[in-house]
């Protein structure tokens, strides 16, 4: 995670955003989004992730979350990002119907040739007041509307 952004208290509520490298629209297919959702559910059940709101967009994810049970939020999300990066790239590579893999995968390669799916940072915002919590919750709900994916927030799956 970038030194510029810091998760202040691992057990406090944070608004987090993490994006695909280069903002590539790699999560536009439901099967790729499901990898993210399934991993978040695993982190809730097994790692102590307390998840209050989330939205998986075509190239980024928003969460309102905290760590429960003594775990560190940044460690949970590091593991989540590492796992999902590997699984989404595998799914893109294995999907014979994925017409975009020829241009998408090279955009995710580093200078060494390794695939890097997620940008390194989480852009955490410490949620310390009800007003800021409501603002970020509204932002998560409105993000699919603003992107033109749905007409109403409750229509987004």
Structure tokens of 93?
A: 């590579």
Interval 92-138: pLDDT, tens: 989 888 888 888 888 887 667 777 899 988 889 999 899 999 999 99
Residue bearing the bigger pLDDT, 108 or 147: 147
Out of 30-39, 41-50, 52-61, 104-113, least confident range: 104-113
DSSP code of 4? T
CA end-to-end span of the chain, whole Å? Answer: 29
Q: What is the pTM of this model?
A: 0.89
88: nearest Cα among 28, 22, 23: 28
pLDDT of residue 8: 62
Instruction: Report the alpha-carbon distance of residue 36 to residue 2 in Å, rounded.
Output: 22
Instruction: Report the alpha-carbon distance of residue 130 to residue 29 in Å, rounded.
Output: 34
5 neighbors 61 (Cβ within 8 angstroms) = no
Residue bearing the bigger pLDDT, 92 or 2: 92
- 73-84 mean pLDDT: 94
Domains and CATH numbers, the chain: 14-155 (3.30.70.1290)
Percentage of the chain lying above the pLDDT 90 cut: 64
pLDDT of residue 98: 84
What kind and span of H or E run contains 17?
A: strand 14-19
108 neighbors 116 (Cβ within 8 angstroms) = yes
Instruction: Report the alpha-carbon distance of residue 39 to residue 92 in Å, rounded.
Output: 17
Structure tokens of 113?
A: 């040739």
Instruction: Report the alpha-carbon distance of residue 124 to residue 4 in Å, rounded.
Output: 10
DSSP code of 147? T
Instruction: Report the alpha-carbon distance of residue 59 to residue 25 in Å, rounded.
Output: 5
């Amino acid at each position: 995670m970038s030194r510029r952004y810091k998760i202040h208290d691992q057990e406090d509520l944070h608004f987090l955003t993490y994006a695909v490298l280069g903002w590539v629209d790699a999560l536009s297919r439901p099967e790729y989004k499901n990898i993210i959702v399934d991993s978040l559910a695993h982190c809730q059940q097994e790692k102590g992730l307390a998840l209050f709101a989330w939205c998986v967009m075509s190239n980024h994810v928003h969460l309102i979350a905290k760590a429960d049970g003594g775990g560190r939020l940044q460690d949970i999300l590091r593991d989540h990002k590492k796992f999902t990066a590997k699984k989404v790239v595998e799914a893109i590579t294995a999907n014979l119907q994925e017409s975009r893999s020829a241009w998408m995968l090279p955009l995710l390669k580093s200078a060494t040739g390794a695939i890097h799916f997620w940008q390194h940072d989480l852009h955490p915002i410490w949620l310390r007041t009800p007003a800021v919590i409501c603002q970020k919750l509204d932002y998560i709900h409105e993000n699919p509307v603003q992107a033109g994916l749905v007409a109403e927030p409750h229509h987004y799956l």
